[in-house]
Amino acid sequence: MYHDRAMSALAHAYVGLGANLGDRLQALRDAVDRLDGAAGVRVVACSPVYETAPQGPVRAQPAFLNAVCAVETSLAPRDLLGRLLQVERALGRVRDVPQGPRTIDLDLLLFGSTVVDEPGLLVPHRQLQRRAFVLVPLLDLAPDLRHPLTGELLREERARLRDQAIAPFAPPSALQPTRAPGPPS
């Protein structure tokens, strides 16, 4: 089911980025540049970069770098997800171990106030309020965001995750796209 609560010609979305293999910071930079260069997508802001321990069942892997980018897009949620997957593939993402090490990981976190519940696509992202490595950089960009389903301020969710360590790694300028600003193509 796709429910659009007030989508305009350009939608505002948030994309989570993560990497824990190779040159992690360069992988995030490359992802931002490729995403910004994708048809119908424009990166408008990036959070600081944070370093975090792996979450989930596969703990024996390198630490992650994580960030969030705000994008403007003329694409529908499913098409934006398709662009994210294209960028992952272009940067060598291989999905052989669920929640295992990865060269790059891009997640569609929010798409305006839109709620999507379809096979292969849930927006807002189902882990949005459970992971400090998502909430902290997201709140850096939009401290007053509300969860589209619950209406709750996401910063209140952050307070419940104080036990999840997250360390600053690089400023937002480390991820700024290299392309000139302008509307999505």
Catalytic residue positions, numbered: 93, 102, 105, 107
* C-alpha of 128 from chain center: 10
- Residue 25 structure tokens: 């910071």
How many Å from the N-terminal Cα to the C-terminal Cα in the chain?
28
Cβ atoms within 10 Å, residue 163: 6
Q: What share of the chain is helix, strand, coil (3-state, %, to 5)?
A: 25, 30, 45
